[in-house]
Structure 1
């Protein structure tokens, strides 16, 4: 039987004259019948005809008395036809408790009309080629549904919220349905997650540790520890403590020129001697004081690095020369000498008033000059016990060097006392006369 002829025959059928009376009588005996609230006798009549045929096609034993199931499994020719009768599903008999439309190669979207049979206990749509979304919200009236089989279809993968609905049924009901994530893919994802997440966490912790304790200069300034440098930062600033950046050596100290990551040029004093924890603690306390010094006639201490085997003090880089070289290179004017002396005095007064515990080195080799001849005291010592007399003596020696344009020769390497002897030897006359002669020349 062709579906077109069946539909045509149904459309040509008219209800008998007493059909209206029959419907009313049925509704009096059973008001829950779905067609009781409808006045479309043609649709009701056609639905009863389809119900009678479908009951027999489903091999029910006594269709006169009851219609308990729709069984069209493996009936690909007629299953789509009966699904197309929307008027039948609209008035779906309440006696139907099971619908089986499996193994029919049906295509298209989910046959939502079957869900109008809200009283059913079982629905089987397996082994078809249905696609698209499953209307989960339309299942809510089917409170008696205990068996649902949608396996072997091509439905769209369900959302996380829909998975709660599927938990009502056996997992095999959705095998290869497309609704649930592919088990193999899920396993792979789970393995990736279980292995990848710890690795990701370890990498993140490693990066965080590296940024905080190895190269904090890669962090925004607000997250950095102020005035603190790490060995890696200093190594990067000096190209691995290269010879090209080595600008001086002393007893136990190497001095480098460096460039920080933000472009700031610095002078780095490196101490590599192994010291005790107590000495390291004292060094750290001294550095905390030095970074607080702030005066126009002092080299700014930017920070420090404190490790057992590597200690460093980082200061701003000054392009100018020191006073010792400046004096030997030319015959400076007295005006310029006086400017340098006044700058040094200002720096001394600042330290005496604000930081009396901080000593300083006033040798001409330790006082640097900026481009505009601004003197900068560059070497300090926290906890200096020098008396005021001693400090005045230091300044006096510095003053003499400025006045006579002399630096310590090889004969006078014994320090300030040696310098006095140097003056007595080379300038045996009256010091006032020597000073006057210098002033006249300059």
Structure 2
């Protein structure tokens, strides 16, 4: 209907004076205290009989006090909006440039709940209103025009609440601060062009898009450079930050510095001319022995050093010192191996702890097994076999160290060195360099008649163990005999003889990389 609803026509005369008094005072207080006249119920009933389409007539439970306040606010708002004749028509709400009273009307939710059906246009523009979208306005579902532009509304726009506004043909939400929404996904908003949403925040800003594009174009290459640079740094300087499969036994000076706390003195366990031995803890907490060579060498020699290390890291036997990797920098070369406790070589062990016969025999058997493994699997790898260079693991297994790739010394010489090693262990005597032959001849002279004079007297020997010790010394003398008339025993024979001596508590000799120490793969 084009004219004002019958409720206004019937009530306006009776309440206009009261309405004027009310709105000239504090409106909210007066509305809260004002009560409907005695005949108001009959008036509302009569209105609904004449015009059942009125919104309050379709309300499930009529609130007469609320409807009365709605009627008063509607009468006043019609005048504030400068409608020509509020008794006959209320076609638009025009509150442009009225920032002081607009928030008040927006707070009257009871008015918007019973919004007059005659209203076809709502204009609340240019009021700098703050807050969220005034969703109550959308209860006027019959409107054809809605202008909320040039305010400071923010937050989300209730896109779904617009759907009932089927008559809406003019919409202006420009110059607000709404959150960006995907209006293009809604069929309802496709009827409006972008001029309805200029600087509303709902549409992607071109400036912001350009800014994002510039940031992306600048940041993405920087991000790629940082990723590539970080990966390059890890590969060249700290490969221990990479997965294990990417490390390939290679250590860098940065890794060694981190492992030794910048080569601190508290981690220095040995030092000689151009060589320093450090105790190190790798990033994963694994303890290692780091042997550092400070002397500068030529590029060719550094290449040979790296090639040798590539071979040594492949050695895998319980009686060989496990080498985990190497460093081959221009100013620093190093070999990283498994950790053995300080002063844990055989020489110190023999002279200091006076081990019993069986323990010495187990050490000799372990060294012979390690030598046999190298002879069978790596014949071109030599080693320095002395009581001072054979180390002891935490479980007292002997570990051959000081490997030399390309050492083609014959097996006869190696077995002779084992013989000297054996005699040192049995006698607790270290011959002076250059006097090894005299040492052997001294033992040979006492072998038949006075063997007890040369055997380490700290060993408590029974008749059976003395016979075994005598047989062992005989093996040592045979190993050191290099004349053509005497044939040296093979390493295989030596291992078998010692295995039989240890038969009661011996286990089957393990094959390559089986039954030995469980080496943790840390490289």
Q: 1:84 to 1:300 in 2, by over 3 A?
A: closer
Q: 1:401 to 1:181 in 2, by over 3 A?
A: same
Distance in structure 1 (CA, Å) of the matches to 2:354 and 2:114:
115
> Quick one: which of 345, 353, 358 aligns to 2:381?
358
> Quick one: which of 362, 366, 371 aligns to 1:348?
371
Structure 2 equivalent of residue 378 of structure 1: 401
Classify the secondary structure of the residue corresponding to 1:258.
strand
Structure 2 equivalent of residue 139 of structure 1: 162
Structure 1 equivalent of residue 140 of structure 2: 117
1:260 aligns with 2:281: yes
1:432 aligns with 2:419: no
Distance in structure 2 (CA, Å) of the matches to 1:44 and 1:100:
24
Distance in structure 2 (CA, Å) of the matches to 1:36 and 1:365:
107
Q: 1:266 to 1:99 in 2, by over 3 A?
A: same
Distance in structure 2 (CA, Å) of the matches to 1:54 and 1:369:
101
TM-score, reference length from structure 1:
0.65
Q: 1:304 to 1:11 in 2, by over 3 A?
A: farther
Distance in structure 2 (CA, Å) of the matches to 1:44 and 1:139:
25
Q: How does 1:41-190 map to 2 (within 5 A)?
A: 58-59=81-82, 68-74=91-97, 80=104, 84=108, 86=110, 90=114, 92-93=116-117, 96-102=119-125, 111-125=134-148, 135-143=158-166, 144-149=168-173, 158=179, 170-172=196-198, 174=200
Instruction: Report the alpha carbon displacement of residue 106 of structure 1 after superposing the two structures with TM.
Output: 7.4
Name which of structure 1's ranges 222-231 and 50-59 shifts more when overlaid on structure 2. Answer: 50-59
Distance in structure 1 (CA, Å) of the matches to 2:389 and 2:169:
94
Structure 2 equivalent of residue 288 of structure 1: 313
Q: 1:378 to 1:280 in 2, by over 3 A?
A: closer
Name which of structure 1's ranges 122-131 and 354-363 shifts more when overlaid on structure 2. Answer: 122-131
Structure 2 equivalent of residue 235 of structure 1: 257
Does the CA contact (< 8 Å) of 2:446 and 2:454 recur in 1? Answer: no
Q: 1:123 to 1:216 in 2, by over 3 A?
A: same
Where do 5+ consecutive residues of structure 2 fail to align?
1-19, 456-523
> Quick one: which of 297, 307, 323 aligns to 1:273?
297
Distance in structure 2 (CA, Å) of the matches to 1:114 and 1:280:
85
Distance in structure 1 (CA, Å) of the matches to 2:55 and 2:200:
34
Q: 1:11 to 1:233 in 2, by over 3 A?
A: farther
Classify the secondary structure of the residue corresponding to 1:391.
helix
Distance in structure 1 (CA, Å) of the matches to 2:70 and 2:230:
72
Distance in structure 2 (CA, Å) of the matches to 1:184 and 1:372:
72
Classify the secondary structure of the residue corresponding to 1:348.
helix
Distance in structure 2 (CA, Å) of the matches to 1:185 and 1:161:
16
Does the CA contact (< 8 Å) of 1:319 and 1:371 recur in 2? Answer: no
Distance in structure 2 (CA, Å) of the matches to 1:168 and 1:34:
35
Does the CA contact (< 8 Å) of 1:258 and 1:267 recur in 2? Answer: yes
Classify the secondary structure of the residue corresponding to 1:266.
strand
Name which of structure 1's ranges 379-388 and 120-129 shifts more when overlaid on structure 2. Answer: 120-129
Does the CA contact (< 8 Å) of 1:238 and 1:256 recur in 2? Answer: no
Instruction: Report the alpha carbon displacement of residue 223 of structure 1 after superposing the two structures with TM.
Output: 7.1
Does the CA contact (< 8 Å) of 2:128 and 2:151 recur in 1? Answer: yes
Instruction: Report the alpha carbon displacement of residue 377 of structure 1 after superposing the two structures with TM.
Output: 1.5
Paired residues, number:
409
Classify the secondary structure of the residue corresponding to 2:122.
strand
Instruction: Report the alpha carbon displacement of residue 117 of structure 1 after superposing the two structures with TM.
Output: 2.9
Q: 1:10 to 1:120 in 2, by over 3 A?
A: farther
Residues 125-155 of structure 1, C-alpha deviations (whole Å, 9 max, x = no match): 4577878875443223235354324757xx8
Structure 1 equivalent of residue 327 of structure 2: 305
Q: 1:263 to 1:340 in 2, by over 3 A?
A: closer
Distance in structure 2 (CA, Å) of the matches to 1:91 and 1:330:
104
Distance in structure 1 (CA, Å) of the matches to 2:107 and 2:365:
106
Distance in structure 1 (CA, Å) of the matches to 2:51 and 2:360:
125
TM-score, reference length from structure 2:
0.57
Classify the secondary structure of the residue corresponding to 1:342.
helix
> Quick one: which of 328, 334, 342 aligns to 1:319?
342
Q: How does 1:387-398 map to 2 (within 5 A)?
A: 387-398=410-421
Classify the secondary structure of the residue corresponding to 2:299.
coil
Q: 1:302 to 1:318 in 2, by over 3 A?
A: farther
Does the CA contact (< 8 Å) of 2:83 and 2:91 recur in 1? Answer: yes
Structure 2 equivalent of residue 249 of structure 1: 272
Where do 5+ consecutive residues of structure 1 fail to align?
25-32, 413-417
